Structure 1
Amino acid sequence: MKNTFTHTTPTAEGFFGEYGGSFIPPQLKQVMDEITAAYDEITQDQSFLDELASLYRHYVGRPSPVFHAKRLSEKYGAEIYLKREDLNHTGAHKINHCLGEALLAKRMGKTKLIAETGAGQHGVALATAAALLGMECEIHMGEVDIAKEHPNVVRMKILGATVVPATHGLKTLKEAVDSAFEAYLADPVNQFYAIGSVVGPHPFPRMVRDFQSVVGNEAREQIQEMTGKLPDHVVACVGGGSNAMGLFSAFLDDEGVALHGVEPAGRDLDQVGEHAATLTKGAPGVMHGFKSYMLQSADGEPQEVYSVASGLDYPSVGPQHSYLKDLGRAEYHTVNDQEAIDAFFELSRVEGIIPAIESSHAVAHAIKLAQQKPGQAILLNLSGRGDKDIDFVVDKYGAGYGIG
């Protein structure tokens, strides 16, 4: 789990270049210092690493396979490979860091896990980890997303979690983070805030990246076994950026591998409140305890954001992504709602795999890339499956795809 690269490892204060850090109330500094110390300790603790590896294998079902999407490849002209995180227990990559965070919290003597969720996959994964380890769990979720992602809300409740609706503002992911953070501040001693992406104050961007690096480490080995070489392109969707950072982490030192992050252009990339393309349209700022690119007003307040994918509608992004953008090591592109929905149905009908709408953004960009780069190898992270999205997609878009 230790980093094999140094140029993107954060400083002791949690900075990737100028991004990251810990901009938090004084009463939280001691708590965060304790979490940092505990995390540093478990990364050197073989019993912790063995326990996590065992859960990955026997509980999550890792390693997740890499699948050569032959029909999609033939149709669009490049060799497209899917890292199948959708096959994990709970249906997405989120279980990777949720198990790590929950095990860490348990070792620290915490009794309750608290978190935010957008699409609900982080909430489901954390509720699963809490049930497995015998801990309380409280998930904060925007009212809009509760209605949109009803199947995941039911799963969380079945697993024993308390689901708290965020009823202010746009009632989506940012508001869920606000609500969860406020609840966490009420008792940071007994609660552990299990942040759902590579965002938040130090050490969370580093910690979540490290837990998610299992995705990239597996994929790098698998694609070489299948093809005898590294891919030309690596693609993943970016909201907060955990699935992308997990995949990118294994290829950062491979200059011949192009890294592509895909943000949501929503309904209109040029209209405030109609997209969530942070790295494309944002500027550096501070929110939720860390510095990164963010979509903000002239006075530095977070702007309204929107995406058809509930897991991507966040006005900031992981600080390491901001650093990689400035370095030029990763490229960040956009896909709009309609392109994502088209890709949702395309992968479903060409390969028999129903993707999450979040992951569909990466599929859409991979298809564009395949047409631009014929014959090249594209590895994309299929970060989640679309069970949670089926009712919403059919209700809103089904008629256009022959579903009455």
Structure 2
Amino acid sequence: MTDTITSDLPNSYRTQPDERGHFGQFGGRYVSETLMPLILDLEREYRAAKEDPAFREQFEDLLEHYVGRPSPLYYAERLTDEVRRNAPDGPNGEKRGAQIWFKRDELNHTGAHKINNCIGQILLAIRMGKTRIIAETGAGQHGVATATVCARFGLPCVIYMGATDVERQQPNVFRMKLLGAEVVPVKAGAATLKDAMNEALRDWVANVHDTFYIIGTAAGPHPYPELVRDFQSVIGREARAQLLDRVGRLPDVCVAAIGGGSNAIGLFHPFLDDKDVALLGVEAAGHGLDKEHAASLAGGAPGILHGNKTYLLQDEDGQITEGHSISAGLDYPGIGPEHAWLRDIGRVEYTSATDRDALDAFQLLCRTEGIIPALEPSHAIAAVVERAREMDRDRIVLCNLCGRGDKDIFTVAKALGVEI
């Protein structure tokens, strides 16, 4: 079976981060003295686990037989046809409209990409002898995945979730409780993902001796951005191999939605050294970049939050401002440090999609392919449609469909003025 932790791909971009957890000027570990011994222990344990065949074997076995990997690679024929009907002609009168392919990680057990990382981290927690798990969650998919692996391995877990998100993600809250998790609503700040992560960090500092914090995104203090990326890179490795097998070449562009950025870095990382493959991350533009949004690369500045340096939404005094998105999973006011670095060096292009764009894309995929996506990848789908329309027909756009839309139907219905 393909090694799902390390890879034989070229190493020019993939040598990041450095030994202190920096991607250029970004990353690092800005944590209290109480947490430093645990952070260092985690890094040592992760380095050892990567070299341990037994760890790799257990991780791969669970991904295959519990998660359901490899997830399918799907050619979206009707969506491609729809894009082509509305595409402009090329300079010589030829019809435009690239092929659109989806990496279908929404078909994983629990309905999103989050489970890949949670499997890896729960195995690390067990190796370290930790007996209690905590996590933060926004849209609830990471919370559900964490609760799932804790149920599988018989460990208690506490999930911190902003009270605003608890209200708008009731199906996932109920799923977490069914799985045995304690869900703690956080009422501070805007009561969303940033505030849930603040509360989880407070818990961790107070319970270092027995508690492991499963961070869901590719952010936080080193080594979290690296290890989350490595566990999620199974997405890109599979997609790369699947496209080579089915069409005999790599995609022209890979697209993924960006909140903190775990699904995107999971797709992008195995393609970083393929210079002919463009990479496009899509942030949440909310009501517009001149209004309320969560596009920290487009509208933020470097700063420090949750243990790492990255681009953050800030006011003129450097205070963190609240992000907004119709998607509870994309309203984090920062981004993973590797994304910040990849943006600054120009390897990855970052754009954004508004709430309205995401709603339109959500409905378009439902109508054309019979797939109900989560609101997070709906932002990416909006960018895919726009980008594919301008490309030649023999080109390939690969998009990570990182979550399914069961959790979002109430939010979408409300936005469309529909009563359920």
Provide TM-score, normalisation by structure 1.
Answer: 0.97
DSSP 3-state at the match of 2:233: helix
Amino acid at match of 1:21: G
Code of the aligned partner of 1:31: L
1:390 aligned residue:
409
Aligned mate of 1:362, from 352, 371, 380? 380
- State the alpha-carbon separation in 1 of the partners of residues 242 and 13 from structure 2: 25
Equivalent in 7, 13, 18 of residue 7 of structure 1: 13
Matched-pair contact (CA < 8 Å) for 2:12–2:273: no
Contact 2:63 2:116 in 1 (8 A): yes
For 1:251 and 1:28, the matched residues in 2 are separated by 34
Match of 1:101 among 121, 132, 142: 121
> How far has the Cα of 1:182 moved from its partner?
0.8
Tell me, yes or no, if the aligned pair for 2:285 and 2:352 is still in contact at 8 Å. Answer: yes
- Tell me what 1:293 maps to: 311
Q: Which residue of 2 aligns with 1:331?
A: 349
Q: Mean Cα displacement is larger for which, 218-227 or 239-248?
A: 218-227
1:48 to 55, 76, 81: 55
Secondary structure of the 1:147 match is helix
User: Partner of 2:45 in structure 1?
Assistant: 38
SS in 2 for 1:311: coil
Question: Separation in 1 of the partners of 2:354 and 2:334?
Answer: 18
Residue pairs, 1:63-102, within 5 angstroms = 63-76=70-83, 77-102=97-122
Partner of 2:329: 311
In 2: Cα distance, 1:298 partner to 1:396 partner: 32
Indicate the residue corresponding to 1:237 in structure 2: 257
SS of the equivalent of 2:215 reads: coil
User: Quick one: which of 273, 290, 294 aligns to 1:253?
Assistant: 273
Where in structure 2 are there 5+ consecutive unaligned residues? 84-96
Match of 2:93 in 1: none
The residue type paired with residue 13 of structure 2 is: H
Contact 2:13 2:272 in 1 (8 A): no
The SS at the match of 2:185 is: strand
3-state secondary structure, aligned to 2:414: helix
1:18 match: 25
- 2-structure distance, mates of 1:178, 1:172: 10
Residue identity over aligned pairs, in percent, reads 50
Q: Could you report, residue by residue, the CA deviation over 1:263-289 in whole angstroms, capped at 9, with x for unpaired residues?
A: 000012112xx1000111111111110
Larger deviation, residues 169-178 vs 368-377: 368-377
For the residues of structure 1 that align with 2:55 and 2:261, how far apart are their CA atoms? Answer: 25
Aligned residue type for 1:22: R
User: Of 309, 313, 320, which aligns to 2:338?
Assistant: 320
d(CA) in 2 for partners of 1:150 and 1:397? Answer: 19
2:70 corresponds to which letter in structure 1?
P
Show CA shifts across 1:108-146 (max 9, x none).
Answer: 000111010000000000000000011111000001100
Amino acid at match of 1:32: I
Q: CA-to-partner distance for each residue in 1:213-261, whole Å, 9 max, x for gaps?
A: 0000000000111211110010000000000000001100011000000
Instruction: Give how far 1:26 is off.
Output: 1.2
Partner Cα separation in structure 1 for residue 404 and residue 384 of structure 2 = 17
Secondary structure of 2:344's match?
helix
CA distance in 1, matches of 2:397, 2:156: 41
Equivalent in the alignment of 1:28: 35
CA apart distance, 1:349: 0.8
Deviations 1:166-220 (A, max 9, x none): 1011011111111111111110120001111000000000000000000000000
Q: Read off the aligned partner of 2:416 and give its amino acid letter.
A: Y
CA apart distance, 1:374: 3.2
SS of corresponding position for 2:271: coil
Deviation, 1:299, is 2.1
Residues 112-151 of structure 1: pairs in structure 2 closer than 5 A:
112-151=132-171
Equivalent residue letter for 2:6: K
Over residues 45-93 of structure 1, what are the superposed CA-to-partner deviations in whole Å (9 max), with x where a residue is unaligned? 0000000100000000000000000011111122000000000000000
Take 1:278 and 1:226, find their aligned partners in 2: how far apart are those partners? 36
The amino acid across from 2:32 in the alignment is P
Q: Determine which of 276, 282, 285 is the counterpart of 2:294.
A: 276
CA distance in 2, matches of 1:219, 1:2: 15
Which residue matches 2:246? 226
Where 1:310 maps in the other structure, the secondary structure is coil
TM-score (ref. length: structure 2): 0.93
Number of the residue aligned with 2:92: none
Offset from partner CA, 1:307-351 (integer Å, 9 cap, x none): 000000011100000110011000000000011001001001100
Shift of residue 297, structure 1, vs aligned partner: 1.6
Q: 2:193 is aligned with what amino acid?
A: L
1:154 maps to 2:174: yes
Q: Is the 8 A contact 2:300 2:311 kept in 1?
A: yes
Q: Tell me by how many angstroms 1:395 deviates.
A: 2.5
Q: How far apart are residue 398 of structure 1 and its match?
A: 4.8
SS of corresponding position for 2:78: helix
User: Helix, strand or coil for the counterpart of 1:96?
Assistant: helix
Report what 2:397 is aligned to. 378
Number of residues of Structure 1 aligned to a counterpart in Structure 2: 399
Which amino acid is 2:282 matched to? V
